[in-house]
Amino acid sequence: MKTIFSGIQPSGTPTIGNYIGAMKQFISLQESYTSYFCIVDEHAITVQQEPLKLRQQTKSLAALYLAIGLDPAKAIIFIQSEVSAHAEAAWIVQCNTNIGELERMTQFKDKSAKNSRSGVSVGLLTYPPLMVADIILYQSNLVPVGDDQKQHLELTRDFVTRFNNKYSNGNHLLTVPEVKIPKSGGRIMSLQDPLKKMSKSDDNKKSFISMLDAPAIIRKKIKSAVTDSSGVIEYDSENKPGISNLLTIYASFTDFSIAELVDRYQNSGYGQFKEDLGEAIVAVLEPIQIRHNELIDSDELDLILDEGAIKARSVANKTLIKMKNAIGLGRKN
Ligand code: AQP
């Protein structure tokens, strides 16, 4: 069976962008892959986090993984910082990566510009090597992510090819992963500025819907989403990015295709469309929220995370030892 790895940062509550771009894919993939779903808290600290809030968001994200339908009998669910091999392997990756490769990363450029006033951590620059480590430790074949992670996946593929050539004569010491981005919904845009990606750490709370927003808030945020003055519901991401983004969200939360939605609302205005969209999102998120709230302080959740960490450690450590042996660290294991 092939292996997948993916992670979400507990840098806030996941948005519907994180859900559509990444989490929703996990549910079906766990059926046919050996699956590792990680809460990447070490990635989250590349920007400043409040310790108690970070811990609470980490547990909440784990509860959300289960609430959307990830099954610990099928998938390994764990917290990154509880498997020390990630930080160790990341160091090896950093020492085999050029600074120039990292300075070119779009996410580094965006996030360092956004955080320039509070200071840009070295971790923000070395975020991609940690992500490379996450992926290679499980010899992952496939990484389901949103569009914004494509560049990091290319870096991972380059790193693995280089590492295999340099340290194992081109043999497959590490697996070269493929990226999997959804055909539609790989980049959900901000509700307030549809030219900008929806992000959970956006200061403007109206720009995103969090997976734990109350139904009334969800309806309100959709109502105030930026569209345009034409009032015509059609998909044209270049000229009508606002309504096009809402159409993508609507299709992702229902069984309708974008073409079916355009047809269905050809004689309606934005008001009716937005009202129905709000209901469609609530219909999916409300049961998830109920399950999340049952799980959040349960022993069951802790048990699942304990077991997940044990399983992940055993696989990750094997790869780490192979990497250390290959590059000559320590005495041979
Ligand atoms: N707007 C988006 N549309 C589709 N997919 C998205 N993802 C993120 N934003 C969108 C995907 O969600 C997964 C988890 O992302 P992450 O938490 O690792 O970090 P991120 O990509 O930086 O996401 P955010 O929401 O923008 O977080 P902050 O605000 O903390 O930086 C990834 O697969 C990502 O592609």
| Inter-residue contact 120 to 110 (CB < 8 Å) | no
Section 256-277 average pLDDT:
96
The one catalytic residue among 2, 53, 59, 111: 111
Residue 114 placed within a domain: yes
Return the residue whose CA atom lies nearest to atom 26 of ligand 1.
199
Interface predicted TM-score (ipTM) of this complex, two decimals: 0.98
Residue 123 placed within a domain: yes
pLDDT of 292 > 80? The answer is: yes
CA 146 to ligand 1 center in whole angstroms: 7
Residues 31 and 49 in one domain: yes
CA 179 to ligand 1 center in whole angstroms: 15
pLDDT of 251 > 90? The answer is: yes
Residues 7 and 122 in one domain: yes
Residues 120 and 24 in one domain: yes
Query: What CATH number does the domain containing 246 carry?
Result: 1.10.240.10
Residues 176 and 252 in one domain: no
Query: What CATH number does the domain containing 118 carry?
Result: 3.40.50.620
Atom of ligand 1 lying closest to residue 198 CA: 1
What is the pLDDT, as a whole number, of residue 163?
Answer: 96
Determine the structural domain holding residue 268 and report its residue range: 215-293
Q: Is 200 a catalytic residue?
A: yes
Residues 96 and 229 in one domain: no
Ligand 1 pocket (Cβ < 6 Å) reads 8-9, 11-12, 15, 17-18, 20-22, 145-146, 148-149, 186-188, 197-201
Summarize pLDDT for 178-207 with one digit per residue, the tens.
999 999 999 999 999 999 999 998 999 999
Atom of ligand 1 lying closest to residue 146 CA: 35
What is the pLDDT, as a whole number, of residue 38?
Answer: 98
Residues 260 and 134 in one domain: no
What is the pLDDT, as a whole number, of residue 119?
Answer: 86
Q: Which residues are annotated as a binding site?
A: 9-11, 17-18, 134, 146-148, 188, 197-201
Residues 264 and 163 in one domain: no
pLDDT of 117 > 80? The answer is: no
Residue 208 placed within a domain: no
Return the residue whose CA atom lies nearest to atom 8 of ligand 1.
18
pLDDT of 118 > 90? The answer is: no
Residue 197 placed within a domain: no
Give residue 57's pLDDT band: very low, low, confident or very high (50, 70, 90).
very high
The percentage of the chain sitting over the pLDDT mark of 90, rounded to a whole number, equals 93
Residue 23 placed within a domain: yes
- Please give the tally of structural domains in the chain: 2
pTM for the whole structure: 0.96
Residues 281 and 311 in one domain: no
What is the pLDDT, as a whole number, of residue 265?
Answer: 96
CA 217 to ligand 1 center in whole angstroms: 21
Q: Which residues are annotated as a binding site for ATP?
A: 9-11, 17-18, 146-148, 188, 197-201
What is the pLDDT, as a whole number, of residue 272?
Answer: 96
What is the pLDDT, as a whole number, of residue 171?
Answer: 77
Residue 195 placed within a domain: no
**Pairing of the two strands 142-144 and 178-180:** parallel
Residues 321 and 247 in one domain: no
Written in H, E and C, the secondary structure of the chain is CCEEEEEECCCCCCEHHHHHHHHHHHHHHCCCCEEEEEECHHHHCCCCCCHHHHHHHHHHHHHHHHHCCCCCCCEEEEEHHHCCHHHHHHHHHHCCCCHHHHHCCHHHHHHHHHCCCCCCCHHHHCHHHHHHHHHHHCCCCEEECCHHHHHHHHHHHHHHHHHHHHHCCCCCCCCCCEEECCCCCCCCECCCCCCCECCCCCCCHHHCCECCCCHHHHHHHHHCCCCCCCCCCCCCCCCCHHHHHHHHHHHHHCCCCHHHHHHHCCCCCHHHHHHHHHHHHHHHHHHHHHHHHHHCCCHHHHHHHHHHHHHHHHHHHHHHHHHHHHHCCCCCC
Give the residue from 126, 147, 129, 105 showing the smallest Cα distance to 113. Answer: 105
Q: What rounded mean pLDDT belongs to the chain?
A: 96
Residues 16 and 107 in one domain: yes
pLDDT of 2 > 90? The answer is: yes
What is the pLDDT, as a whole number, of residue 190?
Answer: 98
CA 210 to ligand 1 center in whole angstroms: 12
Residue 153 placed within a domain: yes
Q: Is 223 a catalytic residue?
A: no
CA 53 to ligand 1 center in whole angstroms: 19
| Inter-residue contact 160 to 178 (CB < 8 Å) | no
Residues 262 and 314 in one domain: no
Residue 333 placed within a domain: no
Q: Is 111 a catalytic residue?
A: yes
Atom of ligand 1 lying closest to residue 6 CA: 33
- Residue 135 CA to residue 161 CA, distance in Å, equals 14
Return the residue whose CA atom lies nearest to atom 23 of ligand 1.
199
Expressed in angstroms, the distance from the first to the final Cα of the chain is 27
Summarize pLDDT for 80-101 with one digit per residue, the tens.
999 999 999 999 999 999 999 9
Section 245-256 average pLDDT:
97
Return the residue whose CA atom lies nearest to atom 35 of ligand 1.
146
Residues 20 and 64 in one domain: yes
Summarize pLDDT for 295-313 with one digit per residue, the tens.
998 999 999 999 999 999 9
